[in-house]
Each structure stands twice: as structure tokens, then as C-alpha cells.
Amino acid sequence: MPVGLLELLSGLQQAGLCRFTIQPTSSGLWTIYMEQQQGAAARQTPQPEKAVVQLNKAATGLGLSIVAAKGAGQEKLGIYVKTVVKGGAADIDGRLRAGDQLLKVDGQSLVGITQEKAAEYLVKTGPVVTLEIAKQGAICHGLATLLSQPSPDMGRSES
């Protein structure tokens, strides 16, 4: 760590301008979120940006590997993109990334369900799929280390 950085960051944290979350299995890389907030809103956890993505999976499938997890401040399981498979519809489209949270598939909520049930919903979709997502939801919910861990062998969880 560069000389003086710890003192600078400590001062910012004490002033309530930033906060730090320890990631025990971090590779040493930093993710920084900055936004201007006022008053009590400054103490709230930043929320991920939501988006709607429509994919045509007819020829290639969705090409997603998913994982279920409960992040900081969440009461229910969330479904997160673990990897985007090269050549799949999500890869070709380019808008989905590892760490994005899948909120809905074709209007069906994925919040609070198991990984297996979410995979079932994703597989049963038609040739055009509409996904509601929270961009980089895993990082916003303190689950960044989840993306670097090997996936458990639970049968086929790609769709």
C-alpha cells in the first residue's frame, strides 16, 4: 500500500464519505463505487442499476452459469450470473456479465428461489427470453468472492 494512502482513506471513512468492506479471499484488486449523496441517504448501501435484457437463444442457448446466494442485507436468496459461456446468446449480446443478479425471467421472479428452480425456469423459456437484471448485484451485495470460487457439481445448471 502506498505511503499515506491508509491515512487518507481513514480520514475519508471517519468523515462518512466512504466505507470499506473486507473481502477475505480477495486477489488484491479493488472495486470502488463513488456517488454523491446527501444527509441520511449517504449512509445507505448503494443499490445496483436495474436493466431489462432480451436475448434470442434459439440456436445457441442462453449460455449462463448461475449460482444462488444471500448477500449482505438480503433476506432472500438471489440468483447471480457466475459465468457467461463463450458463444452463447448472452455472450453474443454482450450486456450480461458475471456478477449480474437475475431478478426475473419472462416476468417470473427469481428472488428467493433455489439455484435448481431458477435453472429450471431458464431452461423452459422460449426462443426469446426477457431478463430483468441488477447490474453487478453480487458486488453491491458483498458477494464478489462468490464469483471466484469453483461451482459445486450440482448437475447441469447452465441454460
Write the Ramachandran bin of 11: left for phi over 0, alpha for psi from -120 to 50, otherwise beta.
alpha
Task: Look at residues 119, 120, 125 and name the one whose alpha carbon lies nearest to residue 55.
Answer: 125
Task: Look at residues 52, 73, 72, 157 and name the one whose alpha carbon lies nearest to residue 114.
Answer: 157
pLDDT in tens, 71-111: 877 889 999 999 999 999 999 999 999 999 999 999 999 99
Rounded Cα distance, 26 and 129, in Å: 34
CATH of domain 50-148: 2.30.42.10
Where along the chain do its domains lie?
5-43, 50-148
Q: How confident is the model at residue 67 (pLDDT cuts 50, 70, 90)?
A: very high
